[in-house]
Structure 1
Amino acid sequence: MLRHIERPTEQLPGLGRIVSDFGLLYASNGFIGWLFAVTGPVAIILAVGSNGGLPEPEIASWIFGVFFFNGLITLLLSGLYRQPLVFFWTIPGTVLVGQSLTHLSFPQVVGAFYFTGLVMLVLGASGWVKRAMQLVPMPIVMGMVAGVFLRFGLELVRAVFADTIIVGPMVAIWIILSAIPRLGSRIPPIIGALLVGAVAAILPGQHDSATLQFELIRPVIQTPVWSVAAMVELVVPLAITVLVVQNGQGFAVLGAAGHVAPVNAVTMACGLGSVISAIVGGVSTCLTGPTNAIVVSSGEQERHYTGAMFVGCLAVLFGLLAPTFTRLLLLSPKSLVMALAGLAMLRVLQSAFNAAFNERFSLGALLAFLVTVADVPLLNVGAAFWGLLAGFAISWLLEKPDFATETK
């Protein structure tokens, strides 16, 4: 089965070659890409974990898993293939888990993480990835994703009214940095929002920094519970968010920059990363789109891999110090975390709506969206799965011409 795995076209670069290819430009791109990952996306993990009733050590262990192990995979594959291949975790999958934690235990969710990783390993090793990615039309998938993400947009609006002193300036600076590209290229909007929000939280004395201490991670090993309901509810949607939504975006970003990513090798790496991260409660691994986009945004194509490797090094260090950063954000006002997560999701939510309701499969996408937003579990299986199923079924019955167009 491993014959389908793409072989590297060049020898593994030595330390001297990596150092000579590295430079300030690639370091800055890598740093900004990493900084993006540790702001809004981490806030999403904190929001999901806190709302799901997870204690602080388990949330820190989750963050450790998705940074430390994925950082190592990033270092290995970026060097092996001499390409920018940054791996982190599935953001829509994380939000999906938040819905599941309302009626499933965390060990049951972890069991689904393991099984999802095994599915991706098989798909990558067999070369079936492209076929699997085409089973469910993208607009229907994005309709489900939009339904899952909508809650974060609503929480952002509620946070503005509930804590205007902190969230108001965050939204204002995010709009300013987004509206003025010259400023936004120097300070990414989400990072500007974090800095302003932190200052706004400290000034009124709402942030208790006295209890903050640097601390290395002590991972919490999770014992999975094998639940049929959790498998049915999470495995297929999680695999789709990784293979179709996240990896698809990552492949598109890299392709636009002239890189030909090893699809099957990346899929196997996602499967392996998912299984390893699940040991400490981490959600499924994916090839990231936004961070890779930042890494390849400038510089020479053949040197982009060094920026990705720098991201991997920073991710490993961040994972080791996960308890410190977890406590820092958990000590912050809840409105700051929710606003940060909401701002990070705005563009993604916009893209999800555009992809869902652009042209084909729009009725199926709408039904997938409505069923997911309704959030009514059936047979102890969450709404996201039924949204996908309902959207596919209605399109199959009422939008048959769109399937004909899809196969051309």
Structure 2
Amino acid sequence: MSQSEATGTASRTNYIQPVIAGALAAIVGYASTFTLVLAALTAAGASPQQAGSGLMSVCIAIGILNIIVSARIRLPVSFAWSTPGVAFLLTVGEPVGGFPAVAGAFLFAAGLIVLTGLIKPLARLIAAIPAAIANAMLAGMLLSLCLAPVTAVAEMPALAIPVLLAWVIGLRFARRYAVPIAVVVTGILLATTTHLPAGALDGTWPTLVPVMPAFTLDAIVRIGLPLYVVTMASQNLPGIAVLKANGFTPSPAPLFILTGLGSAATAFFGGHSSNLAAITAAICAGPEAHPDPDKRWPAPIAAGAVYLLLAPGAALAAAFIAASPPLLIQAVAGLALLSSLAAALAGALAVEETRLPAILTFVATASGITIIGVGAPFWGLVGGIAMLAMMRLGVRPLPQP
């Protein structure tokens, strides 16, 4: 083999790991919450066709964002839909004005996200998050998912143990491909054990259904403003923190503008919001995507391609994934994120001065609490930064008993 051929083979090999990691991130992101998206849009007054259109439009938007942004800036910046946003949407019901008013609220929230990117002090404030606090928040976000493999072994040993063994064997003999090996074993198990219920594929595939947004005070106050706060606090802020914890420091302002514009586009088809990925971003930006940080950027591109493939085939994907054990899918993601959890904990606890604020951030984020509709990552971030500021001002915490 010539030197040029050897170089080409090595280059292709270098891309295999991030591509598989990105595909896994998209599958985990889609499989974990697509039913929640459909349920939330339906609860807000969408017809089945409008709900399918909303899901399809967001898949297209985040697919395009993942591909274009990562290819342009050569950084593993990942995009996803707002899971906390749809969870919140489930609780508010249909507003005055029906689903067009909901689309108007989506458009309003998107406009606020764009303004956040345009107002530079806000973007600079987000970029100034201390690294230890960012790592601690990331660790707290990853903890529950990293516990999934253990939970899966206890609840479904026949499926989980082969996956876990495949991962361990991969670590021993082919460390870089341990997670891909586990994914392949999981795919084989699901293909041979998952049975679609009768009528699961009845009906047509989703199509984009235009929705003309209507602006009502009720929808803006009940949906638009809270959706903006939840998306920024529980997705965009943690998304920047995940990147920072893995050594990447992109300018947040352009990313917020792009996600806001993407969200505005999907609002006209019933989609709620596009934003920076948080937990699944760790799969693309962490060491499991590639040992070399400079070679992780193809992972979001692969994730974007998978989202674009899932968009028109949402009916089939929904039927298959809904019939699969969600805990097993979460377990594979947990295995992929163990390295990221270890690195985040090491970064959070490395400096004694920031250790206690970091631990506070970690436990608050891992608690999963929700206060006034805002999730635990935001409160962990606020608590850790407040404690760090207090300690640096010379005010010491009360002594331990």
Distance 1:112 1:375, change over 3 A: farther
Alpha-carbon distance, 1:365 to partner: 1.8
Distance 2:123 2:90 in 1: 33
In structure 1, which of residues 320, 323, 345 is the aligned counterpart of residue 312 of structure 2?
320
Q: What letter matches 1:395 in structure 2?
A: L
Matching residue of 1:284: 275
1:366 aligns with 2:363: no
Instruction: Find the counterpart in structure 2 of residue 208 from structure 1.
Output: 196
Contact 1:61 1:322 in 2 (8 A): no
What secondary structure sits across from 1:72 in the alignment? helix
How far, CA to CA, are the matches of 2:10 and 2:53 in structure 1?
32
The within-5 A match list for 1:253-264 is: none
Equivalent residue, structure 2, for 1:194? 183
1: CA distance, partners of 2:51 / 2:153: 26
Once residues 241 and 264 of structure 2 are traced to their aligned partners in structure 1, the CA distance between those partners, rounded to angstroms, is 19
| Alignment CA distance shift 1:122-1:34 (3 Å) | farther
1:217 aligns with 2:206: yes
Q: Could you tell me whether the CA contact under 8 Å between 1:62 and 1:281 is conserved in 2?
A: yes
1:236 maps to 2:233: yes
C-alpha deviation, 1:385, in angstroms: 2.8
1:384 paired residue number: 377
Q: Please say if 1:344 is aligned against 2:341.
A: no
- Of 352, 357, 361, 2:349 maps to 357
Report the Cα distance in structure 2 between the residues aligned to 1:307 and 1:152, rounded to whole angstroms: 20
C-alpha distance in structure 1 between counterparts of 2:136 and 2:25, whole Å: 22
Amino acid of the structure 2 residue aligned with 1:89: F
Q: Secondary structure at the match of 1:323?
A: helix
Distance 2:169 2:370 in 1: 40
Equivalent residue of 1:284, what SS? strand
Look up the match of 2:164: 171
**How far apart, in 2, do the equivalents of 1:240 and 1:30 lie?**
29
Name stretches of at least 5 consecutive residues in structure 2 with no aligned partner.
1-7, 43-47, 96-101, 214-218, 396-401
Shift of 1:129: 7.0
1-structure distance, mates of 2:297, 2:142: 31
Task: Return the match for 1:145 from 132, 138, 143.
Answer: 138
CA distance in 2 between partners of 1:198 and 1:338 (Å): 13
Instruction: Identify which range, 135-144 or 42-51, moves more after superposition.
Output: 42-51
Count of matched residue pairs: 360
Distance 1:105 1:138, change over 3 A: farther
| SS of structure 1 residue aligned to 2:39 | coil
Amino acid at match of 1:160: V
Three-state SS of the structure 2 residue aligned to 1:361 is helix
| Equivalent residues of 2:23, 2:302 under 8 A apart | no
Partner in structure 1 of residue 258 of structure 2: 269
* DSSP 3-state at the match of 1:38: helix
Post-superposition offset of 1:189: 3.1
Alignment of 1:71-220 (within 5 A): 71-74=63-66, 76=68, 81=72, 84=74, 88-90=78-80, 94=83, 101=88, 104-105=91-92, 117-128=110-121, 131-180=124-173, 183-185=174-176, 188-203=177-192, 205-208=193-196, 216-219=205-208
Residue 168 of structure 1, CA deviation: 0.7
Deviation of 1:169 (Å): 1.0
- Which blocks of at least 5 consecutive residues in structure 1 are unaligned? 1-22, 256-260, 403-408
Q: Is the 8 A contact 1:40 1:340 kept in 2?
A: no
Aligned partners of 2:61 and 2:274 also within 8 Å: no
SS of equivalent residue, structure 1 residue 39: helix
**5 Å matches for 1:1-80?**
33-50=18-35, 54=39, 64-65=56-57, 67-74=59-66, 76=68
Counterpart-to-counterpart distance in 1, 2:360 and 2:103: 29
Amino acid at match of 1:386: W
- Change beyond 3 A, Cα 1:49–1:167: same
Specify the code of the residue in structure 1 equivalent to 2:136: G
If the length of structure 2 is used for normalisation, what is the TM-score? 0.67
Kindly state the Cα deviation for residue 276 of structure 1 after the two structures are TM-superposed: 3.6
Cα distance change of structure 1 residues 268 and 26 upon mapping to structure 2, 3 Å threshold: farther
Deviation of the 1:374 alpha carbon: 3.2
User: Kindly tell me: are residues 78 and 390 of structure 1, through their superposed partners in 2, closer, same or farther at Cα, counting changes over 3 Å?
Assistant: closer
